[in-house]
Copies of this chain bind each other. A is one copy, B any other.
Amino acid sequence: MIQNKAPGKDVSLEDMAEKFPLASKKNNTHFSKFDIGGITFGDSLIPIMAGPNMVESEKLIVETAINVKKAGAHFLRGGAFKPLSFPYRSDKYTETREEGIGWLGVAKKETGLGIITEVMEERYLDLICEVTDILQIGSRNMQNYPLISAAAKTKKPLMIKRHFGASLRDWLGAAEYALYEGNEKIILCERGVTVPHTHRDSSRFLLDLQVVPAAKEITHLPIAVDPSHATFWRPWVTPMSLASVAAGADSIMLEVHPDPENSAVDPLQPIDFDSFKKLMQSMDKVAHINGRHILNV
């Protein structure tokens, strides 16, 4: 009976097999492995996606692309379409939309890096797909199933960020909608949950690293982690990134900005090029302890 599936009893393996036939593991060693532009997810490599929160200008995104590539990043991240909790924007914080997508294209051409960017509306899918290698479904749209289905139908790889209030079961439900469209390149990304006890004015969410082994116990999909958004605080990004790799994350998304304190949005969270370079080297060492790697040998 559906009624005695308890709320805390978020996921039982039986429930999984029944509700999420595509997302659930068939056996203990079942893990998806897939290629995105020559980079394999779900294998020994831990691909790194780095870049600014927003694609503020062509100059900024190209400069960042060059620098994160030099440090070993595998994908360039950056938002041209960007939801905010209220409809007003400062001068600085303006979505660059079509123009920003174009600038991502320039950065891609300059560096060869794959692109990941957020899609918020079906109507912009075609435009965004011309440039992006991975479509990001933001946490606010994790339960916008029509958008997920439409995005999945493009056959572009999808990364689905967990809503800050979503259980593992809710999150896998969203993945199932994408898999149901025949798209097998689905990445899940943890980015912090709301809890009664945050730690700081500038800490909005709690990074849930326990979900990494928990998710990998029941789903074959790769699990990424975004420590920048969860901590919302630069000094914690390095320890939480190392912890994410140690916990078994399959990919890491990081906010990197040439001039973090002047980032158009959330200036407390991006790290600069130097910190990113050092972090890449440390994460690579942690990865090796788990038989994985980040930097190319």
Contact = CB atoms under 8 A, between A and B. Distances in A.
A9 B11 contact: no
A239 interface: yes
A8 B6 contact: yes
Contacts of A145: 83, 87, 120, 140
Interface in A86-137: 86-88, 120-121
A289 interface: yes
A2 B213 CA distance: 22
A8 B233 CA distance: 14
A94 to B, nearest CB: 15
Contacts of A85: 19, 143, 169-170, 173
A20 B240 contact: no
Nearest to A171: B197
Interface residues of A, number: 87
A144 interface: yes
Given A141-B144, A242-B289, A7 B204 contact: yes
- Most chain B CB within 10 A, of A169, A198, A211, is at A198
B212 A239 contact: yes
A86 B6 contact: no
Contacts of A215: 199
Interface in A155-210: 163-170, 173, 176-177, 180, 193-210
A80 to B, nearest CB: 15
Interface in A1-38: 3-12, 15, 19-20
Contacts of A213: 231, 235-236, 239-240
A71 interface: no
A84 B144 CA distance: 11
A266 interface: yes
A245 interface: yes
A285 B11 CA distance: 33
Interface string A218-259: 000000000000111001100110111111100000000000
Interface of A: 3-12, 15, 19-20, 83-88, 120-121, 140-141, 143-147, 149, 163-170, 173, 176-177, 180, 193-215, 217, 230-232, 235-236, 239-240, 242-248, 266-268, 282, 285-286, 289-290
Shortest beta-carbon contacts, A-B, top 8: A165-B165, A8-B8, A8-B198, A199-B214, A194-B196, A140-B143, A6-B9, A242-B246
9 contacts: A19-B86, A87-B149, A141-B144, A168-B197, A170-B197, A193-B195, A199-B215, A209-B243, A210-B231
